Copies of this chain bind each other. A is one copy, B any other.
Amino acid sequence: MKKNKVVVVLSGGMDSSALLVWAIAKNYDVTAITIDYGQRHRKEIGYAKLLCDGLLVEHKIVDLSSLKTLMGNTALTGDIDVPEGHYAAPTMKLTVVPNRNMVLLSTAICLAAECGASKVLYGAHSGDHPIYPDCRPEFVERLSRAAEVCWYDKITIEAPFVEKTKAEIVSIGAGLGLLWALTWSCYKGGETHCGSCGTCVERREAFMLAGVDDPTNYVDTTPIKTLIESMAE
């Protein structure tokens, strides 16, 4: 039987990498797309490529880095220091690029239309909802309704993890044999994960809560429990 084509939006981070192996396990014919939107470092793009090469998945990288010329001075694309600490903290709003995900999804839909895919898969999860409006179920549903009528063939957007926690995503990825060493989270983009920026803390906490061994090398080796406790003080 002919497989259904889908496009997976792949950042190179944990969630979208787990989504990629999830889509393969669902027996979809997968093309992955990674978008350079002018993020502070390109490290995660290289990891996205590594993972696709390893999984023999077709992978497109699109350079939309000029988007950053529109943006203010967010920590992701500008000169502000990356905030340390727990991801849910208000300072993390600094890491938001306005409407970034609509641009990424629109671009993925271009590719879907081009290659005849009927779905775009998107790795938004419940932990993102409090700070990122464009990770919420309502946003995904509405954009999917627009996607349905943007082209001659019907295309939809699905976010299978949108109600899942990051720890649940770690469990799913681990169950499907995802090589976590081929994923990148740290916003700092150093040689190894720093271990203490917001997204490193989130990564480490997710492994801990899922009860999955974390294979990542971190510069800051303070145990994650200690780190979270010290942040709560």
- A contact set with B: CB distance below 8 Å: 33, 60, 62-64, 66-67, 69-72, 97-103, 105-107, 109-111, 113-114, 133-134, 136, 138-139, 142-143, 145-152
Residues of B contacting A139 with CB < 8 Å?
A: 146, 149-150
Contact: B67 with A66, CB < 8 Å? Answer: no
Q: Could you name 14 residue pairs across A and B whose Cβ atoms are closer than 8 Å?
A: A60-B70, A62-B66, A62-B69, A70-B107, A71-B110, A98-B109, A98-B110, A99-B113, A100-B110, A102-B147, A102-B150, A133-B151, A142-B145, A142-B148
Determine the residue in chain B with the shortest Cβ distance to A148.
Answer: B142
Copies of this polypeptide in the complex? 2
Known contacts A102-B106, A151-B98: A66-B63 contact under CB 8 Å: yes
Contact: A142 with B149, CB < 8 Å? Answer: yes
Instruction: Report A155 CB to chain B, min CB distance, Å.
Output: 8
- Report the bound CA distance from A119 to B10 in whole Å: 30
- Report the bound CA distance from A92 to B130 in whole Å: 45
Residues of B contacting A106 with CB < 8 Å?
A: 99, 102-103, 105-106
Residues of B contacting A98 with CB < 8 Å?
A: 109-110, 113-114, 151
* A67 contact from B62, B143, B148, Cβ within 8 A: B62
Contact: A151 with B99, CB < 8 Å? Answer: yes
Instruction: Report A43 CB to chain B, min CB distance, Å.
Output: 20
- Report the bound CA distance from A87 to B133 in whole Å: 40
- Report the bound CA distance from A73 to B97 in whole Å: 32
Instruction: Report A187 CB to chain B, min CB distance, Å.
Output: 20
